Amino acid sequence: MMDPFDDTYFMKRALQEAEIAYQKGEIPVGAVVVIDQKIIARAHNLTETLVDVTAHAEMQAITAAANYLGGKYLRGCTLYVTLEPCQMCAGALYWSQLSKIVYAASDPHRGYEVMGTKLHPKTAVVRGVLQDQAEDLLNKFFIEKRNLN
Catalytic residue positions, numbered: 58
Q: How far apart are CA 134 and CA 127, in angstroms?
A: 12
Residue 44 known to bind ligand: no
Residue 86 known to bind ligand: yes
Residue 89 known to bind ligand: yes
Q: How far apart are CA 45 and CA 38, in angstroms?
A: 21
Compute φ and ψ for 44, nearest 5 degrees.
-150, 170
What is the Cα gyration radius of the chain?
A: 14
Q: How far apart are CA 126 and CA 72, in angstroms?
A: 23
Which residue ranges make up the annotated binding site for Zn(2+)? 56, 86, 89
Which residue ranges make up the annotated binding site? 56, 86, 89
